A and B are shown apart, each in its own frame.
Chain A
C-alpha cells in the first residue's frame, strides 16, 4: 500500500507554451496520390502526431495519407478521397481513417501530455455518397421515405497516462434526426473541431457509430478524414529521454507494448491495487509479457523514473 501511495503522488508535470499543426504536406503527395503503407515505420508522422498504419498482403488499416480528389465515384475503390476533394484550407494532403473498433491518433513526445487544440474533419467520399445515395450494403440516409432519423456519429476520447478519459466529444458526420427534413445534413466541408475541452492527452481515440446497422455490424462505410491537427508543444518534460509516451493495449490479454526511447535495461515492477508486487524485471524489448497477472487491474511502475501506468488484464 505504501508503494501505491507513493506512486499516486509520482505523476509527472508538463506545461505547454507553443502549438504545432500536422498538415500532412510533409509527405509531398501530388493531387491524386495516396499512401496506405507507412512501412518501415508503424505510423505516419506529421507535426507532433503519429497515425498508426498496418499494411499486409496488399490490405491496409488504420490511417492513410491522401491527396486524392475524386468527389463523385462511389464505392470502396475510392476509399481514400475526402468529399471536399482537397485538404483543409485549400491544402493538398489530408489523412483518411478506416475504422475498425476505433482509430488512434498518438501524440509524439513533443506533444504528449498536453492538450490537442483542435483539428479539421470531414466525410470521406465513400461514406458521403453511400449516405446520400445508398449502395448494395448501406442505406441512403432518411431511408425509403426520407423520414428515417439516421445519423453517422464520430466520438472522440482521450488517453492520458494509460487511462481512458471519461469525457468524450461527439461530432455528427451526418444527422437526419430533425423533424424538419430540410435540416438534415451530411458534412461535406472541412469543419474545425475544438478539442481543448478534452484536456491533456497522450492519444486520441476515434470511434464511429451509425443508425444503419445489421447483424454484421455497421453498414455505413467506416471512414472519415482529418487535417490540420493542432497540438500543444511540451517545452519542459521531466526525464524527457526516459519518457514512455505510449503503452498499449489496455485492457490487454497477456502483454503490453511500450513505445518510447532509452527503454533497454530499465527496471520495472507490476503491482496489484493492494500494492503487492506480482512481477518485476528489466525491459529487454518493447514488449512485457504478463506472466504472473491474473485478471484484474494493475500498475506498471518504473522505479528509476517514477513513472506509472494503470492497466487492466482481461
Chain B
C-alpha cells in the first residue's frame, strides 16, 4: 500500500466531523471488505467547502437538501415557501451556477440549468458536500458558484439486516414518513428507501397587523430509492441505483394576489449503473445513467397548461492512475445526450455533449497541487478549454494555506436556446475566471477538544452572463449575454468540538460577506453598474450547537440573512432559529427515538422572496424506530 493510501486510510479512520478539507484523500478503504474509491474529482486540492453530517441531515428536522444547505452553510436558499420551489445562490451566483452532482452525475435540469432543491429528500443521501468556488474543469457547465455533491449508496458495512422507520406529525397538517432497509449478504448489499411527506401549509401570517391565512399551498411528495452493490471481487464492484419520485403541489397566491388555482406535478426517475475496479495503483470506473423528468404545470384559472419533459442518457469512463509515489493522473471521457419536449420549443429539442477531462494531483510532504482540464464538444462546436489549478501548503502542522485559480463556464440551457418566442441558439456560454485563497489554522487539537478556524477570500468575474428581458423593439422576453458580474467576498468558519465526560459538544459558526455586482449599465432589465444582484445578501451568518449527552441529543441552529433587493422591492434582514430535541430508548430488539422539533423558534415574520409569506413558529413530533441484526 502506498503512503498516499495509508494516509488516506488514516484520515478516514480518524474521521472529519465537518470540514471537507481533511477529506482530500484520493482513495479510501473502509475497515471492512467493501472498497470505496473516490476519484480526485471529489474535494479537489485548493477548494474549500463543507461536508455535512449524515447523522444530522437524515433526522426528522431536515427533510430536503434545501433545508440542509440553508441552515448550515453560506448558501442562500431562495425558497418560495414550505414545499415550494427552492433554488440556491452560492458565492453570489445565480441558481444556474450551482452544479448538483448525484453519484457523480450532474442532475440539474438541462432545460432550466437548475434544480429545485426542495425536491431532493435529504433522507435519500448518504453523503453530502458543498464545494464552494468554480469547479467547471471537473464538473463542467454550471459549476461556477459551487458544487453540491450528493451520494446514495449501499452503505451497510457488516453482513446483516437493518431497518428504520421514522414518522412525524406537525403544524399545518404536516405528515412525514420515511423508511430505510439495508442488507448485506456475502458479496451483495442493498439499500431500499422510501419517503412520503405532505402538508396543508395553511399557516397564518400578518399583514399590517391583520392576520391572514395561506391558501392553496398544500403539497405531497413521495418516492423510493433502491441502491444495490455487488462486490464482484475485493477489488471490483458493480453498483446500481434507481430513484423514483413524485411531487404534487399547489402554487399559493402571492400576498398581492387574491387567489390561485395553479398546480405543479413533478415526476422524476433517475437511474445509474457503476462498475469500479481498483488496481494496485489505479481506479477504473465505467458508469452510465438515465434520467427522465416531467414538470406538469396547470392553472385552470387562466387556462395555462404546460407540460415539459426531458430524458438524458450519460456514459462515462474514468481512469485514475498513480504512476509514481507522489502523483495521480486522471483521464475521463463523458458522453451525454438529452432530448427535451416543450410546446414552446415547437419540436423536440436535443443536445449532444462530449467531454474530455484530465487531472493531475501531486502530494509531497507539505505540498499538494492539482491541475485539472476539461474540453467539451457540444452540438457541433468546441467550447473553450477549461483549466484549474489548486495548491495547498502546510507550513506548520497546525496551519493549512491553500488556493485555487479556475476558469468556469455555463452553457446556455435548452430554454435559453430553443424557447419560442425569444430563445436564441446563438447565445454564447457564460464564462470567466475565479480565484480564491484559504487559511485554516487549527487553533486547538487534542484527544478531547478541537478548534478550527478557516477564512477564505474569493474573487470571480463572469462575462456573457445571460439574462432574460424584453429588449427594446421586441414584444417578448428573450435571453442575451448582457451582463458582466463581479463577485467577491470573505467566508469564515469556526468549528469547535469537545468530549466532556459522557457528552459530546459540537459548535459551528460561519459568516459570509459577498458582493456580487453587475458591472455594466443595462437598460433591460434595469440594472446599474455596481449594483448588487437581486436575491444575493451581502451578509449571512449561521451557527449550530449540537450536544449529545448519553441518550439525549439537542441541536440548535441559528441563521442571519441580510437584506436583499428583489425585482420590485427590498426585503428586510431576518433571523431564524431551529430547535431539535431527541431521546433514545433502547427497547430490545429495537431502538426507539422520540423527537421534538421547533421551526422558526423566535416566530420571525420574514420573507425570502418578495410577496411570498413564510410561516411563523411551528412544531413537529417524531418517532423513529431502528432495528439491527448483524451476522455474528
Binding site for B on A (CB under 8 A): 57, 59, 61, 73-78, 98, 100-101, 132-136, 138-140, 143-145, 147, 212-217, 219
Contacts and interface: CB of A to CB of B under 8 A. Distances in A.
Given A61-B475, A216-B469, A74 B421 contact: no
Contacts of B367: none
Contacts of A61: 475
B256 A57 contact: no
Contact of A215 (B258, B299, B567, B611): B567
A215 B303 contact: no
Given A77-B303, A144-B255, 9 more contacts: A57-B421, A61-B475, A75-B299, A100-B475, A133-B258, A135-B257, A215-B525, A215-B527, A216-B469
Contacts of A219: 568
B257 A140 contact: yes
A1 to B, nearest CB: 37
Contacts of A133: 257-259
Contacts of A100: 470, 474-475
Contacts of B526: 215-217
A77 B306 CA distance: 13
Contacts of A136: 254, 257, 262
Main secondary structure of the interface of B (DSSP, over half): loop
Main secondary structure of the interface of A (DSSP, over half): loop
B208 A144 contact: yes
A216 B299 CA distance: 23
A59 B476 contact: yes
B420 A216 contact: no
Contacts, number: 83
Given A74-B301, A78-B303, A217 B524 contact: yes
B628 to A, nearest CB: 49
Contacts of B534: 215
B207 interface: yes
B14 interface: no
Contacts of B421: 57, 59
A145 B527 contact: no
Given A59-B475, A100-B475, A215-B534, A75 B258 contact: no
A139 B302 contact: no
Scoring B210, B257, B470 by chain A CB atoms within 10 A of each residue's CB, the highest score goes to B257
Indicate the size class of the contact surface on chain B.
Answer: 20 to 34
A35 to B, nearest CB: 17
Interface string B176-212: 0000000000000000000000000000000110100
Given A214-B568, A216-B525, A217-B470, A134 B254 contact: yes
B502 interface: no
Contacts of A213: 568
B472 interface: yes
17 contacts: A75-B301, A77-B303, A100-B470, A101-B473, A136-B262, A139-B256, A139-B257, A139-B611, A140-B256, A140-B257, A140-B258, A144-B207, A144-B208, A212-B568, A214-B567, A215-B525, A217-B524
Contact of A145 (B208, B303, B470): B208
Contacts of B527: 215
A305 B527 CA distance: 48
A145 B207 contact: yes
B304 interface: yes
Nearest to B613: A144
Scoring B262, B474, B611 by chain A CB atoms within 10 A of each residue's CB, the highest score goes to B611
B253 interface: yes
B420 A135 contact: no
A3 to B, nearest CB: 34
Contacts of A57: 420-421
A74 B302 contact: yes
A73 B302 CA distance: 6
Contacts of A144: 207-208, 255-256, 611
A162 B462 CA distance: 45
A281 B568 CA distance: 51
B414 to A, nearest CB: 19
A214 B524 CA distance: 10
A127 to B, nearest CB: 13
Interface in B404-421: 420-421
A73 B470 CA distance: 25
Scoring A74, A78, A136, A215 by chain B CB atoms within 10 A of each residue's CB, the highest score goes to A215
A73 B303 contact: yes
A140 B257 CA distance: 6
Nearest to A133: B258
